[in-house]
Amino acid sequence: MKLFLIPLCMLKLNIQNETATLKAVVLGIATSNGPTPKVEDCYDPKSIQHVLSGTYPKESDMVLEMEAVAKVLEKYNVEVFRPKIIENYNQIFSRDIAFVIDDKLVKANILPDRDQEIKAISHVISKIHPDTIINLPEACHVEGGDVMPWNDYIFVGTYSGEDYPDFITARTNIDAVIALQELFPNKIVKSFELRKSNTNAKENALHLDCCFQPIGKDKAILHKNGFLIEKEYEWLLNFFGKENVFEIDKEEMYHMNSNIFSISEEVIISEKNFTRLNAWLRAKGFTVEEVPYAEIAKQEGLLRCSTMPLIRA
């Protein structure tokens, strides 16, 4: 019989929502990110666009951007874990590889080419009791960018069209939605059909957090065109209240304005060029910690995508 020796410093996972005070997080890493990929190796239309135009981000710039985020997290006394470096491998988007709901860590079933990423955080997973680690069935496709715990709810972005296999941008299927409801029977799992495109980044919601994110206690950022079904967008608008929602346009969605990251109900890390959003946040009483992140955004991911919260108070 195999015995599990419990480390003295086990992580007591706790994630109830997107905005409670952050205590521990996995922040991705851009060091040894590898060369500019070939078009056929890109996972999203925005990366393809920048590869073709010669504007794909440089590793040195992305390292600086991620270190700026690390400094903000340390300023607020957050325990920050980083992946172990895999040579010439993209490890920026830690949100994709796993996510925490309540006291459970759910390993994501992600694109096969990215399966090394979870191994790079084995030093973190070893601090988590194995009884609280969930491996989903192989048929359940899911990435953390599509999964948002929000108190009694779990919001999930999905795509259920018959052409699901044709979209490299379709990352979470209905099987995963059903599995999450079975795993968390005391939560209401609310799914949203997202607009997908392999070729047009302005018509593609890669994950739910590319077109929606709750902030504070009762507010949200929302992009209508990211949702395939208007009634589902309207449900969110009514749930938070129109007066509490910051609507972003197609250009702002393209630059990832909804993909900011909450350190607490009062403090948000945001990209420094999000001038309209940041002004609105400050007008609503938030403290906005601005960082440069425009280079990383060229890969169709931003601040939420590159952080995987483990503990919120």
Q: What CATH number does residue 169 fall under?
A: 3.75.10.10
Query: Considering the chain, what percentage of its residues have pLDDT values greater than 90?
Result: 92
- The rounded distance, in Å, linking the Cα atoms of 311 and 24 is 5
55-84 tens-digit pLDDT: 999 999 999 999 999 999 999 999 999 999
Q: What is the pLDDT of residues 285-307, one digit of tens each?
A: 999 999 999 999 999 999 999 99
**Position 148 pLDDT exceeds 60:** yes
Nearest in space to 296 (alpha carbons), one of 40, 87, 68: 68
Q: From CA 176, how far away is CA 160, in angstroms rounded?
A: 11
More confident residue, 7 or 207: 207
Q: Do the domain assignments include residue 266?
A: yes
Residue 96 lies in a domain: yes
For residue 232, the tally of other CB atoms under 10 A from its CB is 15
Question: What was the pLDDT predicted at 109?
Answer: 84
Q: Is 279 exposed, middle or buried (0-12, 13-18, 19+ CB in 10 A)?
A: exposed
What does R_g of the chain's alpha carbons equal in angstroms?
18
> For the segment 15-26, what is each residue's pLDDT rounded down to a tens digit?
999 999 999 999
- β-pairing, 219-222 with 245-247? parallel
Residue in the block written with tokens 């997290």? 73
Decide if 3 is inside a domain. Answer: no
pLDDT at 5: 52
Return the structure tokens found at 17.
């929502």
> Is 4 a domain residue?
no
Q: Containing domain of residue 223, as a range?
A: 22-312
Any domain includes 17: no
Q: What is the pTM for the complete model shown?
A: 0.94
**Do 19 and 265 form a contact (C-beta atoms < 8 A)?**
yes
233 is a domain residue: yes
What is the count of structural domains for the chain? 1
In a domain, 8, yes or no: no
Q: Is residue 305 part of a domain?
A: yes
pLDDT at 8: 54
